Amino acid sequence: MNARELPNATPPKPRCHFLELLTFADLLKAWHGGVMSEKAGSRQIKNSRRKQLRAIAALNALVASSLTGLGAEAGTPCDAGELWEPIVTLEGHTSEVQAIAWSPDGAWLASGAEDGSLFLWAADTGELLRSFPTHARVIASLAWAPDCGQLASGAGGGAMNTIEIWDPQTGEPIRALTELVGWGFSTAWAPDGSQIMGSNGGGRINFWDNDTGEVLRTLLGTAFTDYVWSVAWSPDGTQFVSGSGPFDHTAKLWDSASGSVVHTLTEHATTVYSVAWSPDGMQVVTASGDRTIKTWDANTGALVQSFLGHSSTVLSVAWSPDGTQLASGSLDRTVRIWNATSAELQATVGDQVGLKYSVGWSPDGDRLAFASDNRIEIWSRCP
């Protein structure tokens, strides 16, 4: 089923290059190099025959969807009084989607899953544009370069603890960033595109030169036995924020030039899974396993507001581009939209069935995408 057009929406002027749609051979090659090369690990598929059948089923699903809109399923119109409406559901992954990321122009949406699959979609139609030949067991994080020319994926599992840089036009890898102690839990491009920051197990935050792939420096964000789950740059690149746990359940604000901690945010009771900087650079937001979301003054480190309502771990949080709203995804299977100033709950969207590992606003702020089990849903503001 083809996705209907967004109501009253003006398509963004793309900075990304046009991508050819996948052929059957592309899909077969990608899945042979990705799903069927899955390595042993904590969620290993021990039966090789089952693994082959799973790969074949995934391939069949993708090919079938290519005949009917490449994975796009249309939503339904707004009812009276509703604030948000479903636009399209992206289907093709065969395991839980762990990460999503909008391209800087809003034309594309990248998604990575627990089985190591990495897809690129046309955000307006839901068409599957490309599958990348990854060899990772899990894609844990995604980030676009500011100029839309590169896509970074943080991977984990076995010996594949790397951040891979991809050319979204060709689908080919550009380089692999190594020196990760554990999984690439979070990946973020510097606003000027010169550096890539990645957080991982072992409590470390690494920085790589984007041109050479060389490690510029490594910071110890927390104890070696802990994890740094999330990192984010300030809009001007002069600072960054990190969230960690389960032992050190804090967020830290850092000076980018010196690598020193400016503020330590200590109000959460357990792991900080997600962090983000407000578009104006004045506040940061944190989401935690204690079921709360909190905003903080970036200049003083003081707590500004607590957002209450989720009944389980909050895994992902994102500011709207205009800074007026927050979106959060949780293990309670809900995606919630909040007033960023008052902490008032404004809407709950989604099917409330799948786990919501990742949420993200389109660059124009009119659409919200989120992972829901093995699907990605895109919702739009009602006209």
pLDDT digits (tens, 9 = 90+) for 314-324: 999 999 999 99
Q: Assess whether pLDDT exceeds 50 at residue 25.
A: no
pLDDT digits (tens, 9 = 90+) for 320-352: 999 999 999 999 999 999 999 999 999 999 877
Residue 203: pLDDT band with limits 50, 70, 90: confident
pLDDT digits (tens, 9 = 90+) for 114-153: 989 999 999 999 999 999 987 777 898 999 999 999 999 9
What is the mean pLDDT of the segment spanning 269-295? 97
Residue extents of the structural domains in the chain: 24-381
Q: Between the CA atoms of 366, 18, 186 and 33, what dihedral angle is there, to the nearest 10 degrees?
A: 130
pTM of the model: 0.80
Fold of 24-381: Methylamine Dehydrogenase; Chain H (2.130.10)
Q: What share of the chain in percent tops pLDDT 70?
A: 76
Which residue has better confidence, 33 or 244?
A: 244
Q: What is the 3-state secondary structure (H, E, C) of 103-125?
A: CCCCCEEEEEECCCCEEEEECCC
Give one DSSP letter per residue of 285-338, joined into a string: EEEETTS-EEEEETTT--EEEEE---SS-EEEEEE-TTSSEEEEEETTS-EEEE
pLDDT digits (tens, 9 = 90+) for 52-108: 333 433 433 343 333 333 455 555 567 766 789 999 999 999 999 999 999 999 999
